[in-house]
Amino acid sequence: MRHVEAEGLRLFPVGLGTWQFGAREWGYGTTYANEVAPRIVNRSLDLGVNVVDTAELYAFGRSERIVGAALGRRRDETFLATKLLPVLPVDPVVAWRAKGSLRRLGTDRVDLYQLHWPNPIVPAARTAAALRSLLDDGVARHVGVSNYPLDRWQELERALGRPVLANQVRYSLIDRRPERDVLGWAQEHGRIVIAYSPLAQGLLSGHYGPDHLPSGLRARTAPFRPDNLAALLPLLDVLSQVAAAHNATPAQIALAWLIRRPNVVAIPGASSEEQAERNAASADIDLGAAEDEALTQASDAYLESRAQRRSRAGVAGRRLRRVFAGLRS
């Protein structure tokens, strides 16, 4: 297994996402938040996982609290990452918000402090000044961004005058936008791409279909619509075939495909301890070049079919608008 190395760090390529911890939108309930989530954290650490990702936004701070309590004395085994809701990412707001995160996490510093999204109004220089203070004060060991286009990542880095270590972006077999430019730049410059929703929120497990939708709000999102679920079948088929060859599950293969890309750390969430175990174990799956190619081609075909459906929907929408415009005139 290959670790991800950057800026002197050595990270396990599969981390743990914790949006699920206490967040109502996932619909996992109280026992999950109080009992299962702490076990997921500890089991993941037992298996070598070190990146644990949370955010002040998740369950309005509850995810940070659950993570902090679960880590307890194991804090130093973790590369602990959290995120700022960047409503006003300037000093002294950033310092105040970061202190809130530290308090909830029960620690005196985080390893990675990320801006959850770009703020379109605040100049990069102002945000960079606030982040520089966090680094200088030892509140954050590294800073990062999330959902940043490449040009804004580079702009912030220039303004900071130091590395902005990572960009956390949606990246999976059904969303490959980071490959357009963010990933290549990260690989070339020793930065990290943290892949969120690496299992497309459970879609790539192959567990779901039109008659069996998942818990929580995700069931109402576009990827879980019947036409999308049908279009996904060929990709799920290839995932299953490769999984069978490795005595693994489709979800594990989806993760193994992602982390085969240099400088990528995937951070799947988990609804059970068993899933967390499987996710950590996917780091040991060594996909061959032909398997990688088959998965990439199946992903290309899915993305192509989705683009065609979107474009047909666009044409139909334009026709409908013309009909309504005709009726009005």
Ligand X SMILES: NC(=O)c1ccc[n+]([C@@H]2O[C@H](COP(=O)([O-])OP(=O)(O)OC[C@H]3O[C@@H](n4cnc5c(N)ncnc54)[C@H](OP(=O)(O)O)[C@@H]3O)[C@@H](O)[C@H]2O)c1
Shortest Å, Cβ 316 to ligand X: 30
Closest listed residue to residue 175, CA positions, set 257, 101, 107: 257
Shortest Å, Cβ 14 to ligand X: 10
Shortest Å, Cβ 41 to ligand X: 12
Long-range contacts formed by 279-282: CB under 8 A, 24+ apart:
279/14, 279/16, 279/44, 279/251, 279/252, 279/255, 280/12, 280/14, 280/44, 280/47, 280/48, 280/49, 281/47, 281/248, 281/252, 282/14, 282/248, 282/251, 282/252, 282/253, 282/255, 282/256
Structure tokens at 292: 């990688």
**DSSP code per residue over 294-315:** HHHHHHHHHHHHHHHHHHHHHH
| 58 part of the active site | yes
Shortest Å, Cβ 326 to ligand X: 42
The residue number whose beta carbon is nearest to ligand X equals 17
Q: Which residue has the tokens 């194991």?
A: 74
Q: Which residues bind ligand X (CB under 6 A)?
A: 17-20, 53, 116, 146-147, 168, 196-202, 205, 207, 214-215, 249, 251, 267-271, 275, 278-279
Distance CA 163, CA 205 (A): 35
Shortest Å, Cβ 292 to ligand X: 19
244 vs 320, beta carbon nearer ligand X: 244
- From 28, 58, 148, 302, the catalytic residue: 58
195 vs 289, beta carbon nearer ligand X: 195
Closest listed residue to residue 77, CA positions, set 52, 105, 94: 52
Q: So which residues are the catalytic ones?
A: 58
